[in-house]
Amino acid sequence: MKMQNKEEILFSAAENEFRESLRAFLEGLDAKKIEREIYERDFYPRELYGKLGDAGFLAPVLPVEYGGMGKLVYEAILAEELGAACVPLAWIHSTSSYAYATIARYGNEEQKGKYLPALKSGAKIGAIAITEPEAGSDVMRIKTSAERKGDEYLICGEKRNITNGSRADVLLVWAITNPEVDPGSGMSVFIVESDTKGFEVERDFKLLGGFPGTVNSYLRFDAVRIHGKNMMLGGENEGARVMFDELSIERVLYAAMLVGEARPILELAVEYSMDREQFGTAISRFEGISFKIADMVTKLEAAKLMVYHTVRLIDAGFEAEQESAMAKLLASEAFYEVAHNTVQILGGRGLTDEYPAEWAFRMARLSMIPAGTNEIMRFIVQREVYKGYKGKKGG
Ligand SMILES: Cc1cc2nc3c(=O)[nH]c(=O)nc-3n(C[C@H](O)[C@H](O)[C@H](O)COP(=O)(O)OP(=O)(O)OC[C@H]3O[C@@H](n4cnc5c(N)ncnc54)[C@H](O)[C@@H]3O)c2cc1C
């Protein structure tokens, strides 16, 4: 009997094939070398993203009639492999994928026909605009308004910390459509094209002393006129429902990207510790080093399993809010531990730009805030746990 390898147990033949061909394609593009160039010269790899689309790798989550494979698991594989191959490329893809997955789930046929092909081909980039100056973790406190004027809506407000915000062509923007009720029942989500009059990029921020190849934008909506219900996703005042669903998908895909980002850094730590000699032997022979490796591998593997467990739940029709929060929590903390320990294992060199460890360390620190902070992830997990005990003592 032929012995299966571990990947054959976890993933189907089609999933493994997708991963292998994607890896080969990214290697062919020399994505790792381009990542290094971005790190040195700070440019936004827009063209590279287009190539990924041209080759047909983008948007595997889309239904078959839109050229996809209809499953989130492929999207997680894509996010993971991009994270491993070229971090800025993975970040362009991140919000684009959250946007096309949400349009696919909530869009009407006209919206899907108009936006999905361009997002899938990489001709257009998507962004998610929820966060505002006064509404971060408390997403229900957004103030951006969309006032109805006949067949149109007039969007006014500000959004902050928006990944790809200044480069996106298509933005999903959450706004209050009924200020008279609780925001949970009075918000809607709109598709806004960036060339619409009144859409303004106030500025792009630098993150943690520079996150080359990405943009994090402050956006202003100054009476942006949106044509009626055509541009609304999921129906009027249904924005909160769409948001929570979007966030579950965002968190698990974000976690998949982090698992990918951590992988080459872990490999660097292993290889470096085998090569580097001190006290007459490879430092990997010291348990102070090799036990760090054991912890890093264990935590990263756990995060990866949580990611794929979660996407399979979502593919099976579950909401999986708790699981996606756990995946994001585990993946960001595993990545942080991997990056932190890799810097330590590389010693003084780990802090220089000779190796990607110091950049990874900054990326890993950053990863605990987007898509909901890790405190909020813990909040969601405990809330869901206690829900199951409702009515019992202390529940
Ligand atoms: C790199 C990056 C990319 C981002 N991309 C996007 C994007 O594309 N689209 C978008 O809409 N947003 C984006 N964000 C915004 C991100 O989602 C928010 O920064 C995040 O949700 C936290 O909000 P805040 O920054 O306002 O912090 P706050 O909500 O003000 O939180 C401040 C601190 O208080 C803690 N805190 C708040 N409430 C609680 C609580 N109930 N219990 C315990 N602790 C609590 C938080 O955990 C945090 O430590 C991005 C952020 C970053 C850094």
The whole-number average pLDDT for the span 303-330 is: 97
Each residue's pLDDT tens digit, 75-121:
999 999 999 999 999 999 999 999 999 999 999 999 999 999 999 99
State the pLDDT at residue 1. Answer: 57
In a domain, 395, yes or no: no
State the pLDDT at residue 143. Answer: 97
Short-list 337, 381, 382, CA closest to 360: 337
Distance 163 CA to ligand 1 centre (A): 13
Q: Is the pLDDT of residue 243 over 60?
A: yes
Whether 12 and 58 map to the same domain: the answer is: yes
Closest atom of ligand 1 to CA, residue 94: 8
Whether 253 and 302 map to the same domain: the answer is: yes
| Torsion sign over Cα 347, 351, 356, 361 | positive
Pull the structure tokens for residue 45.
């790899």
| Torsion sign over Cα 264, 266, 268, 271 | negative
Residue 377 to residue 319: CA distance in whole angstroms? 15
State the pLDDT at residue 228. Answer: 74
Mutation probe of ligand 1 site: the residue of 172, 211, 218, 373 with most atoms within 8 A of C-beta? 373
Q: How confident is the model at residue 276 (pLDDT cuts 50, 70, 90)?
A: very high
The last residue of one of the domains, among 193, 219, 237, is: 237
The whole-number average pLDDT for the span 289-295 is: 98
What percent of the chain lies above the pLDDT cut of 70?
Answer: 98
In a domain, 262, yes or no: yes
145-176: b (≥16 Cβ within 10 Å) or e: bbeeeeeebbbbbbbbbbbbbbbbbbbbbbbb
Residue 283 to residue 300: CA distance in whole angstroms? 22
Each residue's pLDDT tens digit, 190-242:
999 999 999 999 999 988 877 889 999 999 999 999 987 778 999 999 999 99
Which is catalytic among the residues 75, 80, 246, 250? Answer: 250
Whether 120 and 136 map to the same domain: the answer is: no
Ligand 1 contacts CB of residue 183 (under 6 A):
no
Q: Find the CATH number of the domain harbouring 117.
A: 1.10.540.10
> For residue 185, what are the domain limits?
128-237
The whole-number average pLDDT for the span 259-280 is: 98
Q: Is the pLDDT of residue 311 over 60?
A: yes
Whether 162 and 114 map to the same domain: the answer is: no
Each residue's pLDDT tens digit, 146-188:
999 998 999 999 999 999 999 999 999 999 999 999 999 999 9
Q: Is the pLDDT of residue 296 over 60?
A: yes
Ligand 1 contacts CB of residue 134 (under 6 A):
no
Whether 231 and 263 map to the same domain: the answer is: no
Distance 317 CA to ligand 1 centre (A): 28
Each residue's pLDDT tens digit, 334-383:
999 999 999 999 999 999 999 999 999 999 999 999 999 999 999 999 99
Whether 245 and 360 map to the same domain: the answer is: yes
The last residue of one of the domains, among 98, 124, 150, is: 124
User: What average pLDDT does the structure give for the chain?
Assistant: 95
Distance 375 CA to ligand 1 centre (A): 10
pTM over 0.85: yes
Q: Is the pLDDT of residue 391 over 80?
A: no
Q: Is the pLDDT of residue 395 over 80?
A: no
Closest atom of ligand 1 to CA, residue 214: 1
